[in-house]
Amino acid sequence: MKTGFPLLALGMFIGLTCVGWSPEQAGIHLTDPEVVNHHGTVVRPVLDERLPRGKNVLWCATFQMAWDSASRHFGGPLRLQPASQLADSLNGSPFNARWIDAESVFHAGGTVGDGVLDRIDQGARAKGHHSKLLDRLRKTSKAEDLVFHALLVKDLEFEKPFARLGKWKLGGRTVPWFGFTPEQRDTGGLLQQIGVHHYAARNDFVIELRSKQTGDQLLLAKLPAAPATPAAACLAVLKRLRADPPRAGGADLLAVPNIVADEKASFAELEGRTVSGSGRLVRAAMQTIDFRMDEKGVKLRSEAAISFGCSAHHRVEPRLLILDPPFAIVMKRQDAPRPYFVAWIANADLLGGK
């Protein structure tokens, strides 16, 4: 994996402050061609599809949860005609309800004629969310259509906001970054918020940014080799986790870009295919992912809908915990073997402020 960041000695940071700090002052050049020459973001409904070169990839468990609800209604795995490899992947990777807390999730399913769309609207509003899928569902659905919907709402707030490190140029964008520098004063509270699960090198580390919501883990990672799939990226992160990771040290540098993702996707490989033996076809298969990360914390909103008509140790030397693309984001419950959100950030398209 290429990088435009040379490994820096601690002395290079002397005299820098968190307010005036910039990568240029430290000798860092944000010019990695793998970042600046690629653009685009895709939403994937499963984790085992190959990562497209240079593109950001977002996955959230909501589409899988909606698929699972539909499968339960139809009495087993959904077999589509013509056959679909994506449908087979969804059938083979159900999301266990124990892997997410019930307070963060809303489910609805039923026929349009029985008011399922109104229940989706009411449930989303009760979670403080305005559904982005209802307009299409209302326009395309008929009274006899079946709709299965899942909504996930997560707010992870840091106990103490990280410092704003200023705005750096990256991939043709002006990107706000947050974290702390070795020269920053009063970092005690911030250091407690960072668990270093693994650190081998500048491009090989896994850290956890701890929030007030102690049941959730926000994991950020630089991987030494490019993963083939989101599932491989996730496995590389999870296998490096420690039960009791040490906190960051005062000589360490943390730099994380703000991220603003607001994506909507339809999955054409599923739409228009019939469900074997049911007399139903997949009329719509949709997902939205709204993910925002800054110095205060993380907000995640994702919903998915599927409609069916009739025939998602402290080290002495400084460590550079700089999350420049490409890097991985994984969100999971502490006691869950699988995550509820995975992102592979490969370019600068999603980096920025509010």
223, part of any domain: yes
> Can you say whether the dihedral through the CA atoms of 218, 158, 292, 104 is positive or negative?
positive
Share above pLDDT 90 across residues of the chain, in percent, rounded to a whole number? 73
- Whether residues 120 and 42 fall in one domain: no
Indicate if 187 and 217 belong to the same structural domain: yes
**Over residues 137-146, mean pLDDT:** 93
Compute the 3-state secondary structure of the chain and give helix, strand, coil in percent, each to the nearest 5. Answer: 20, 35, 45
8 pLDDT higher than 50: no
What is the predicted pLDDT for the residue at 197?
98
Kindly state whether residues 143 and 173 are assigned to the same domain: no
End-to-end CA distance of the chain: 30
pLDDT value of position 17: 38
User: Residues 87-100: pLDDT tens digits?
Assistant: 999 999 999 999 99
pLDDT in tens, 149-160: 999 999 999 999
Same domain, 64 and 137: yes
Q: Label residue 353 by pLDDT band (50, 70, 90).
A: low
Q: Give the bridge partners for 42, in sequence order.
A: 57
Domain shared by 207 and 341, yes or no = yes
Q: Is residue 350 part of a domain?
A: no
Is 1 a member of any domain? Answer: no
Q: 163 falls in which pLDDT band (50, 70, 90)?
A: very high
Place of tokens 């739409």: 271
pLDDT over 80 at 24, yes or no: no
Identify the pLDDT of residue 354.
Answer: 57
Q: Do 227 and 331 belong together in one domain? A: yes
| Mean pLDDT for the stretch of residues 55-77 | 97
Is pLDDT at 351 greater than 80 in this prediction?
yes
**For residue 120, what are the CA distances in angstroms to 54, 147, 208?**
36, 10, 34
For the chain, percent of residues with pLDDT exceeding 70: 88
Residue span of the structural domain in which 82 resides: 60-155+261-310
Query: What's the number of domains the chain is made of?
Result: 2
Which of the four pLDDT bands, split at 50, 70 and 90, describes residue 312? very low
Which of 27-41, 104-118, 246-260 tops mean pLDDT?
A: 104-118
User: DSSP string spanning 210-243?
Assistant: --S-TTEEEEEEE-SS--SSHHHHHHHHHTT--S
Same domain, 125 and 167: no
Q: CA 222, 260, 232: angle at the middle one, nearest 5?
A: 35
Burial 274-289 (b: 16+ CB within 10 A, else e): bbeebebbbbbbbbbb
Res. 118: pLDDT tops 50: yes
| Residues 6 or more apart in contact with residue 109 via CB below 8 angstroms | 69, 70, 73, 116, 146, 147, 148, 149
**Token pair for residue 248?**
């960051």
Q: Is position 149 within any domain?
A: yes
Please indicate, yes or no, whether residues 246 and 103 belong to a single structural domain of this protein: no
Task: Evaluate if residue 314 carries a pLDDT over 70.
Answer: no
pLDDT at 23: 73
For 303-320, what is the mean pLDDT?
A: 75
How far does CA 281 lie from the centroid of its chain?
30
Whole-structure pTM value: 0.86
